[in-house]
Amino acid sequence: MNNRRMLMFEIIRGAAAILVALIVAMIFIFICSDQPFEALRYMLVSPLVSNGSISMNSIYTIFAAMTPIIFTGLGVCVMFSSNQFNLGGEGCVMLGGFIAALVGIYCSTGTYLDMVIAVLIASIVCAVVLYIPAVLKVKLGASEMVSSLMINYIIMYVVLHFLNNVFADGSKGSVQTFPFAETARIPQLVAGGSKLTWGFILALIFTVLVALFMYRTRWGYSIRMIGINQNFAKYSGMKVGAVIILSQIIGGFLSGMGGALEVLGRYEVFLWRDLPGYGWTGVTVAILAKNNPIFIPIAAFFISYLNRGCTLMATYSDVPAEMVDIIQAVIFLFFAAEKFLAKYRQKLVVAGAKEELSQKNAAAAEGGQK
Amino acid sequence: MLEQISSLIFQTDFVFSIFRITAPILFAALAAVVAEKAGVTNIGLEGIMLISGLFGTLFSYWTQSWMIGVLGAIVVGTLLALMMGFFALKLNTDIILAGIAINTMSAGGTIFLLYLFTGERGNTASLTSSNILIPTVKLPIIDSIPIIGEIISGHAVLTYIAFILVFVIWVLLYKTAIGLKIRAVGENAHAAESVGVSVIKIQYIALAISGILCGMGGAFMSMYYSQSWNTGLIAGRGFIALAAQAMGRGEPVGAMFSSLLFGLAQALRTKVSGMQGVSSNLISAMPYLVTIIGLVLYAASTMKKVKRRKADEANEEKK
């Protein structure tokens, strides 16, 4: 009974946060556009509908954009669940993509095992990288947040160094690697320019796996318990250090996999010159999903939809696409705000308690009559 | 090659550039120090600097006065920090998440705001002219001393302010009532509350100071360092500052030295990047690597101290 109320409350609260963000967006659109309604229509409707009919291609594009952020979102979800603010997902995406690209170029066996090997090696390397901040935190108490942020930059510069000086394809004007072996590329799920690959299906499979891991295994339970109350977990005999390390290794593994699938699925060569930003979007997605793996694809869909809407709006009207960052941040802030609408929640709780009480009283009264 | 490097390092303009490069990191590091002392981790430094840097340029362009530009940047920085405070302290958003939100907002939001206000896309190069940049000062007597004059004199006003602020923040934290309260709240919020200190108010104040410092850092970047605003203006300096704070053990003076270390590393990188056989990318990674090593050393030394204290206590009990 109470759970249903709380779920209702969470949904209402989420809707309210989105509404606030849309109002902010509308204010900005009205200030900066000559045709505000046109712009708004492009932002909200055109990702789904174009020329009066539902555009499958546009939807595939949204799905394709969801793939990496589902992975980083899941990664953040696992890491934040143990109350570790590890922000290394960003670097792991880049590193994962780079390692996968290298494996795809230089270690090709000529069979379709290539992509499996490339993605797996990339994920494992990233898991190892995030082992560093985890171990520093557990053994020495060094802030995992600062060290993981630093690791992002180290990864970026080291990748750039190897890209520029060792693995660059000298015959091209821009800095890029040689093309990946055909067998290392992630196959497309649908034909056309949407670049929707099997990576998307894998993302959904991993969502289920991570959800099962978090809610149906001893390890997942330990991770969540440590996040809620570390001391309690410690005194009830959990291996806190090992579990914290495990959660961050998994986070690195997932983020790396997201980067690998993104690079092998969407590109033919590796050419990222900067951190791609999926790690930060992953944090947003995890917050919108309330750290619950099952909701991650929904949150990722929402963010991708919003991005696509803003891109279309910028293409066809006079509002810059970058507005999406403001909308995202506002939604993010209100979603993460525990006390947003807290009074309303209080009322709900009180109402629920009263109802239960009156039921009990009624039951007691009946019992008294007998 | 070593000779080449050493001949570069022992030049006055190299040492001069260290101070110039250090100043913005130092502003942000001090901002991190003050916030952290009050128990608030301000990870939004990066975003606040980017946004306030933009407004610094805009205000100076509108009023054709660099001073109003800097003031505008400070005001915007403070407002952003207070907004973070509102979400974190009033609405219970985790402060780290509030900071991430500010950073998210700043990335595209600044481009959007710039377009909204001026119609420019991506940078303000066409708006800035040299008369609205932060001026440099020649210090009267010091300027005429041979080597020292070349190094110390001729910096921007804000560079001097950055280093003066190290002392000011130290005084604020250790010699004033408000500083005592800030430290008390950071050490143990419950204890502070029990003796009548309003924890939320103190944390708001600490965040506001942090915002002021970020505003100065942002203005320094856009109105002096790179002469105009662009999206990649801050380039991780906010995060480096967090590291400088951690490495400097959360103290203003310590943060200054670790900021100088970063300044040195970055200055080296600019110098060395043109040389044969040196990878500028790997050199760019050095400061971050140094930070992790610094963090580890610091954490290890505190761990030892704690262990020793515990051992001592155990011995005392036995007696």
Per-residue pLDDT of chain B (319 residues; tens, 9 = 90+): 666 667 666 777 888 889 999 999 999 999 999 999 999 989 999 999 999 999 999 999 999 999 999 999 999 999 999 999 999 998 888 888 899 999 989 988 899 889 888 888 878 888 877 778 888 888 887 777 777 787 888 888 899 999 999 999 999 999 999 999 999 999 988 999 888 889 999 999 999 999 999 999 999 999 999 888 888 888 888 988 988 888 888 899 999 998 998 888 888 877 776 676 677 788 878 878 887 887 787 777 777 777 777 777 777 766 6
Contact B43 A145 (CB under 8 A): yes
Question: Residues B228-256, buried b or exposed e (16+ Cβ, 10 A)?
Answer: bbbbebbebbbbbbbbbbbbbebbbebbb
Please check whether residue A264 lies inside any domain of the structure.
yes
Residues of A within 8 A of B98 (CB-CB) are 333, 336
Q: Which of B43, B29, B53, B18 is nearest to B233 (CA)?
A: B53
What is the Cα–Cα distance from B37 to A229, expressed in whole angstroms? 24
What is the Cα–Cα distance from A15 to A335, expressed in whole angstroms? 10
- Best B104, B240, B296, B301 residue to mutate vs chain A (most A CBs within 10 Å): B104
Q: If residue A49 lies in a helix (H) or strand (E), which one and from where to where?
A: strand A49-50
How many CB atoms sit inside 10 A of residue B308's CB?
A: 10
Helices B2-9 and B252-272: angle between axes, nearest 10 degrees: 130
User: Which chain B residue's Cα is nearest to A277?
Assistant: B104
pLDDT in tens, A193-239: 778 999 999 999 999 999 999 999 999 999 999 999 888 888 988 88
User: What is the predicted pLDDT for the residue at A116?
Assistant: 92
Residue type, B119: G
Contact A151 B298 (CB under 8 A): no
Nearest chain A Cα distance for residue B212, angstroms: 22
Identify the residue whose tokens are 């595939």.
A60
What phi and psi, each to the nearest 5 degrees, are found at residue A256? -60, -40
Question: Residues A221-256, buried b or exposed e (16+ Cβ, 10 A)?
Answer: bbbbbbbeebeebeeeebebeebbbbbbbbbbbbbb
Q: If residue A53 lies in a helix (H) or strand (E), which one and from where to where?
A: strand A53-54
What is the Cα–Cα distance from A294 to A216, expressed in whole angstroms? 13
Contact A158 B115 (CB under 8 A): no
Average pLDDT on A343-367 reads 79
| Residue B44 C-beta-side C-alpha neighbours within 13 Å | 35
For residue A204, give Cα distances in angstroms to A22, B195, B218: 28, 53, 42
Please check whether residue A217 lies inside any domain of the structure.
yes
Nearest chain A Cα distance for residue B60, angstroms: 22
- The answer, for A324 touching chain B at a CB cutoff of 8 Å, is yes
Whether the predicted pLDDT of A352 surpasses 50: yes
User: Which chain A residue's Cα is nearest to B300?
Assistant: A140
Domain residue limits at A249: 65-302
Residues of A within 8 A of B90 (CB-CB) are 339
Residues 10-29 of A with CB under 8 A from B: 28
Residues of A within 8 A of B236 (CB-CB) are 153
Q: Which of A2, A42, A147 is nearest to A85 (CA)?
A: A147
What is the Cα–Cα distance from B57 to B49, expressed in whole angstroms? 12
Please check whether residue A309 lies inside any domain of the structure.
no
What is the Cα–Cα distance from A68 to A256, expressed in whole angstroms? 9
- Best B102, B117, B295, B298 residue to mutate vs chain A (most A CBs within 10 Å): B295
User: What is the predicted pLDDT for the residue at B296?
Assistant: 83
Contact B112 A322 (CB under 8 A): yes
Identify the residue whose tokens are 């977990």.
A233
Average pLDDT on A255-279 reads 92
Helices and strands (H and E) in chain A: how many = 14, 2
Do residues B72 and B61 lie in contact, with contact meaning Cβ atoms separated by under 8 Å? Answer: no
Please check whether residue A196 lies inside any domain of the structure.
yes
User: Which chain B residue's Cα is nearest to A150?
Assistant: B288
Residues 58-97 of A with CB under 8 A from B: 85, 87
User: What is the predicted pLDDT for the residue at A370?
Assistant: 46
Residues 6 or more apart in contact with residue A287 via CB below 8 angstroms = A332, A335, A336, B97
Number of domain units in chain A = 1
Please check whether residue A29 lies inside any domain of the structure.
no
Contact A332 B243 (CB under 8 A): no
pLDDT in tens, A226-254: 999 888 888 988 889 999 999 999 999 99
Average pLDDT, chain A: 88
Contact B41 A145 (CB under 8 A): yes
Identify the residue whose tokens are 């110390």.
B152
Among A71-80, A330-339, B188-197, B276-285, the least confident range: B276-285
Q: Looking at residue B92, what DSSP letter applies?
A: -
Domain residue limits at B245: 2-318
Contact B112 A31 (CB under 8 A): no
**Interface size, chain A vs chain B, as Cβ–Cβ contacts under 8 Å:** 145
Higher local confidence (pLDDT), A294 or B306: A294
Instruction: Name the residue facing A154 among B106, B111, B285 (closest C-beta).
Output: B285
Contact A141 B302 (CB under 8 A): yes
Helices A89-106 and A144-165: angle between axes, nearest 10 degrees: 30
Percent of chain A with pLDDT over 90: 44
What is the Cα–Cα distance from A132 to A226, expressed in whole angstroms? 20
Contact A329 B300 (CB under 8 A): no
Q: Which of A28, A70, A79, A48 is nearest to A329 (CA)?
A: A28
User: What is the predicted pLDDT for the residue at A332?
Assistant: 86
Residues of B within 8 A of A150 (CB-CB) are 239, 243, 288-289, 291-292
Do residues B315 and A161 lie in contact, with contact meaning Cβ atoms separated by under 8 Å? Answer: no
**DSSP of B152-195, one letter per residue?**
HTT-BHHHHHHHHHHHHHHHHHHHSHHHHHHHHHHH-HHHHHHT
A197 has which bridge partners?
A188
Identify the residue whose tokens are 């981790």.
B41
Q: If residue A354 lies in a helix (H) or strand (E), which one and from where to where?
A: helix A342-369
- Best A13, A43, A157 residue to mutate vs chain B (most B CBs within 10 Å): A157
Torsion angle (degrees, nearest 10) of CA A88, A93, A99, A101 = -170
Residues of A within 8 A of B97 (CB-CB) are 283, 287, 332-333, 336
Do residues B218 and B234 lie in contact, with contact meaning Cβ atoms separated by under 8 Å? Answer: yes
User: What is the predicted pLDDT for the residue at B310?
Assistant: 75
User: What is the predicted pLDDT for the residue at A1?
Assistant: 47
Tokens for A241, please give them: 């250090």
For residue A99, give Cα distances in angstroms to A112, A199, A264, A314, B291: 17, 17, 10, 34, 25
What is the Cα–Cα distance from B105 to B124, expressed in whole angstroms? 19
Residues of B within 8 A of A142 (CB-CB) are 246, 295-296, 298-299
Torsion angle (degrees, nearest 10) of CA B151, B152, B158, B160 = 150
What is the Cα–Cα distance from A133 to A137, expressed in whole angstroms? 6
Please check whether residue A20 lies inside any domain of the structure.
no
pLDDT in tens, A111-157: 888 889 999 999 999 999 999 999 999 988 888 888 998 899 999 99
Number of domain units in chain B = 1
Q: Which of A51-55, A277-281, B244-248 has the largest mean confidence?
A: A277-281
User: What is the predicted pLDDT for the residue at B119?
Assistant: 83
B156 has which bridge partners?
B136
Continuous H helices in A45-169: 56-81, 89-106, 113-135, 144-165
Q: Which of A89, A262, A29 is nearest to B112 (CA)?
A: A29
Contact A328 B289 (CB under 8 A): no
Instruction: Specify the pTM.
Output: 0.88
Tokens for B217, please give them: 């850092």
What is the Cα–Cα distance from A336 to B87, expressed in whole angstroms? 9
User: Which chain B residue's Cα is nearest to A319?
Assistant: B112
pLDDT in tens, B82-101: 999 999 998 888 888 899 99
Contact B101 A333 (CB under 8 A): yes
Q: B289 exposed, middle or buried (CB, 10 Å; 0-12, 13-18, 19+)?
A: middle
Average pLDDT on A38-45 reads 86
Whether the predicted pLDDT of A369 surpasses 80: no
Tokens for B177, please give them: 């009532």
